[in-house]
Structure formats: structure tokens, C-alpha cells
Amino acid sequence: MKNFRLALKAAVAAFAATLASAASAAEPPLSLAQNGSFFVGGKMTEIDGRATMVGHMYVEYMVPARKTRPWPIIFVHGGLRTGANFTSTLDGKEGWAQYFARRGYAVYIVDQVGRGRSPIIEKAYGPARMGDARGVQKRYAQQEKHKLWPQAGLHAPWPGGGEMDSPWVMALSASQAVEIENFHTQQELNRDALVALVDRIGPSIILGHSQAGAFLWPVADARPAAIKAILAIEPNGPPVGAVDFVGAPDWFKYGSVALSYGVSDVPLTYSPPVKDASELKFTQQEKPDGEGLVRCFEQVEPARQLPNLRDIPTLVLTSEASYHAPYDHCTVKYLQRAGVTPTFIRLADLGIRGDSHVLMLEKNSRDIAAVIANWLAKHVPAGKKAAAR
């Protein structure tokens, strides 16, 4: 036990030294015209005789002093996470929010409804669930050891050690937040709150990571004129049916329908229209599109279209070693068959190798942010300046 404490103390000291080094190498001070927070959405209800707000979302914002981009970026974090994932990395550097603020974008960083500073109210939202730090280790920090999916062994850029007592694993585990257990409820609540946010701040770019991918499509569907681009960073998937990772030799175990509207479990506008998700008909590929990939679910032809998403510039971005590597192409294919034309970027094709799923927290997170920024520069012109808020 004594040796363990000494080793842990040394690891924490090394971690602190890394943070200090990162801070000393920081960019010049970030100049902001506005920086603050507010709550958006929700309603007043009665719970146990008390007037209580429910359905509301916490939003932090940064508006750069030199705002050169007309459309703000809304950052929506993934499962068991909070907006803090976008404001700093595990090794003490600025996060994606500051990266884009430095490049002229106003940024809005949310805590999902029932998460973090958007308090969870079980009597309104249903039971809550907590994460398991072992999942952090298996999916993000030490996936190359556990090898639950074919690409897991390619992992490289994680900032530090992958053992449970590593300061890096503990830092990521500490960032986990209790969340609403029912994913359908999450989708309904966050769709409504994000739509309210767009209505408040005006036309926007929306970036969603992981779980939040299921929110992107309904928000854009509800406000197609106001969503100037969709940045789907390893978005929730694959379409329709759930997949579990079981390791070699089978790798994948296919589950029941998880996204009844294809890329979301809440209604989307299809053409021809559907009154209920049961009207959508799906089929699963007999063979995958390549080695190490899942068998995608697709619409039975003729595929219904997603007209409200068709004209919105859309990026789907995937890393080389993530558990999304076997199936994000299925999301792209589903959207394409529904009339949407997303750009699909596999980071490995650009020479950015070995990242896992928490892209904004890896050592090369700025390189990945640069890929997104370059795509935005090409697909979403700067145009005329917009109001700050």
C-alpha cells in the first residue's frame, strides 16, 4: 500500500508539472467582448407542492473581441459528460471552445438538460444513472489492451497512462456526470432546449459529440433555416439498431432498434411523410462494407427523404481507433440515401492517426479542431458580421 501511495504521489506530481508546462506555453490572453452564462428553455411545474423549473439548459458563452465569423458555434457534449469537455483538455490546454473563439467565432457551450449545471430532477425526468470509470479505461484510455472492437489496437495519442490510478484516467472519470437514464427522454428534452437556444441567439452552427449526435438532426429539422452547419463528431449511432462490442472473433453483437427514426429516436420530417416511426422500413446488410465494419441498417428502397436536412452543410468526422470507426460510415450512408450530402472525414486519411472517441481531450486535439475549422472555412463562408448575441 505504501508503494502504491508513493507511486500515485509521483504520478500526480508529474501530472501537475505537465499542467504547469502547458500553462507556460499557452497562447496570448484570449480577448473577449462578452463572457457569461444563462439558462434557456424549460417550464415551471409543480413537484411535491413546490414550483420547480424543469427542462432548462445551462449555457456558457464567449464572444471574442474580434468576431469575424457571422454564425456562432453551439457545442453539445456527449454521454455522461458536461460542457467542460470543450473548455479544457486533460493536459491543461485550452479546449475547442477557446480554439474557435480565437478564430473569430462566438461560442456557446451547454450542459445537457439534467446534466452538470442543468440540474437533474428525477421526479420530472425519471431515474438517473451514473457512469463506471472502468468504461473510461476500456473505451478511451486503454482500449488497445482490451481490444473490444477491431480498430482498438490502433490507439496512440491519449495524454497519459491508462491504468485506473493514472491521473489522466482519474481526471476523465472525475468529469463524468450523472445523467437521465432514459435516452428517449434525453432526446426530447435536449431537442426542445437546443431549439430554444437557437431561437434566442439566432442562426448558428451546431456541433455535437457522441450521444449528442441524436439531438443534432431533430434540432436542424425543426429550424432548418437557422442551422448554418452541422458538425457531427462521431455522432450517436449506428442508425436504427444498437451494437455492442464483444471482442474477437465476432467483434459485434447486434441489438434491438435504438433509433426508431433512423438517426434519432424522436420524430423527423420525412418525405413522403410518416405519422409514426413504424412506417419506416429498414433492412440490414448481409455483408459489411469492409473488414472490421458493422453491417449497416438502411431504409428499404425507395428511401424516404429528409428534406429539412438536405441543404444544410454537414460534416461527419471519425477517428482511426475509436469504437465509432466500425460504424460511422453507416450514418453517412443513411443520410446519403435520405437525400443529405454530408462530408465524411476519416482523420486517418489526413494522417491524423490513433485517436479514440474523446477527440477533444487527446494530445492532438488542436490538430483535430483545425480540421473542423478548415472544413467550416470552405463550406460556411464568413459573410456579413452578425450581432454578438
User: Where along the chain do its domains lie?
Assistant: 26-379
Decide if 281 contacts 243 (C-beta within 8 A). no
Q: Which residues pair with 50 in a beta bridge?
A: 47
Per-residue pLDDT tens for 111-151? Answer: 999 999 999 999 999 999 998 888 888 898 889 999 999 99
- pLDDT for the residue numbered 383: 52
Query: In the chain, which residues have pLDDT < 50?
Result: 1-24, 384-389
Residue 267 CA to residue 275 CA, distance in Å, equals: 9
Contacts of 193 (CB under 8 A, 6+ apart): 40, 41, 42, 55, 56, 57, 110, 113
Place of cell 504520478: 11
Residue 278: active-site member: no
What are the backbone angles phi and psi of residue 214, rounded to the nearest 5°? -70, -15
Look at strands 343-346 and 314-318 and give their pairing: parallel
- pLDDT for the residue numbered 157: 81
Measured N-to-C along each axis, helices 167-174 and 2-24 cross at an angle, to the nearest 10 degrees, of 70
Contacts of 49 (CB under 8 A, 6+ apart): none
- pLDDT for the residue numbered 39: 98
Q: Which of 118, 173, 175, 210 is catalytic?
A: 210
Class (C level, CATH) for 26-379: alpha beta
- pLDDT for the residue numbered 15: 42
Decide if 365 contacts 359 (C-beta within 8 A). yes
Residue 114 CA to residue 53 CA, distance in Å, equals: 11
Residue 289 CA to residue 327 CA, distance in Å, equals: 10
Place of cell 499557452: 26
Residue 257 CA to residue 212 CA, distance in Å, equals: 18
